[in-house]
Amino acid sequence: MSDCNKPKLTKTKWGFYRYDPPPCDEELRVYYEQKYYQEGHGSYEISYTDEEIRFFRLKARMIYRKASQLTKTAEGKKLMDIGCGEGWLMDEFHKHGCSVFGLDFSCHGMKNFHPHLVPFLEQGNIYNLLQNKTEKAETFDFIVCANVIEHVKDPVGLLLQMKRLMHKESLLIIVTPNDFSQLHQHLLEKKIISRQFWLCYPDHLSYFNKDSMIALLSDLGFCVRSVVADNPIDLNLLNDNSNYIEDTNKGKNTHFFRIRTDNFLGGIDPDKLLQIYEILGSMGVGRDLNYYCSLNS
């Protein structure tokens, strides 16, 4: 690849960063269908410990709780999970009586962890699958797009496609890494970290923080009703003893510190843990941020 064709990080008018030009469709298809789950790339692994599974189920339960708060009840409603992956969130909503539907490039993760949900999964190009649903005039009470929008070539187009599948009482839940955050800038300015560790082309093509995501969503006609963080693992970088960027050997222990912290606090009172993460989300602090959105009236 010549220098002129190498992807460069550019800032959009909404304030988020993206790589331009993006990889070709075939490169992405091969990456997600043949590598991502089968080889344990990204956030997905071949197997997990019992502690990790408890952590995934807790995160899904907290999203369900917040969605229920914002819509009075989630029971009996219709959910579509775009990029449903291993199915943790679909399973949580399914257990509470929701009709669930998942879209993904691969069925490998779902077969591994939630085989009973495979009949509710449509496999293929998510843009084509969403277009089919739009043409059928389908709508959903909940649309979840968790750790997907940072991967796609056209995040604006994806949001507009999801918007066409919403009705006036629908709730859109976007989960995405909190990159180029105030904490990240602080860590760089203080030379606590020596690189922008969150950059990972071609896995992540766009990078959002709280301000840029809200600017994008608002411009496209969404009302952001709540921003909820997940565990702010990056705060560990302020401690030399757990700076897993400068010393990658510290990464695994820090990962399990996050898991054990959440599992412990969630075991005491998951509702209060949700309140803590709502406060952190309002501050733009968290490794991921969850955006709960409705359509502007």
When pLDDT is averaged across residues 257-261 and rounded to a whole number, the result is: 98
CA distances from 81 to 85, 87, 162, 210, 269 (A): 9, 9, 11, 22, 27
Using the structure block, give the residue that is written with the tokens 């690189």.
195
When pLDDT is averaged across residues 80-90 and rounded to a whole number, the result is: 97
Please tell me the predicted confidence (pLDDT) of residue 35. Answer: 60
**32 pLDDT tier (thresholds 50, 70, 90):** low
Under 8 Å between Cβ of 96 and 76:
no
For 118, the domain range is 3-295
DSSP code, position 286? S
Measure the CA–CA gap between 87 and 187, rounded to whole angstroms: 34
Measure the CA–CA gap between 220 and 107, rounded to whole angstroms: 31
- Please state the length of the chain: 297
Q: Is the predicted pLDDT of residue 297 greater than 80, yes or no?
A: no
Q: How many domains does the chain have?
A: 1
Q: Is the predicted pLDDT of residue 33 greater than 70, yes or no?
A: no
CA distances from 31 to 26, 51, 122, 240 (A): 9, 28, 18, 35
**42 pLDDT tier (thresholds 50, 70, 90):** very low
By C-alpha distance, which of 87, 76, 88 is closest to 142?
Answer: 76
Q: Is the predicted pLDDT of residue 1 greater than 90, yes or no?
A: no
Domain CATH for 145:
3.40.50.150
pLDDT, tens digit, 9 for 90 and up, residues 207-221? 999 999 999 999 999
More confident residue, 172 or 29: 172
Please tell me the predicted confidence (pLDDT) of residue 221. Answer: 98
Q: Report residue 209: phi and psi, to 5°.
A: -120, -175
Q: Residue 46 CB: number of other CB atoms within 10 A?
A: 11
Q: Report residue 135: phi and psi, to 5°.
A: -65, -30
Q: Which two tokens stand for residue 272?
A: 């209060």
Using the structure block, give the residue that is written with the tokens 């700076």.
243
When pLDDT is averaged across residues 139-156 and rounded to a whole number, the result is: 96
Please tell me the predicted confidence (pLDDT) of residue 44. Answer: 47
By C-alpha distance, which of 161, 28, 148 is closest to 81?
Answer: 148
pLDDT, tens digit, 9 for 90 and up, residues 167-195? 999 999 999 999 999 999 999 999 999 99
pLDDT, tens digit, 9 for 90 and up, residues 222-244? 999 999 999 999 999 999 999 99
Q: Is the predicted pLDDT of residue 152 greater than 80, yes or no?
A: yes
pLDDT, tens digit, 9 for 90 and up, residues 241-256? 999 999 999 999 999 9
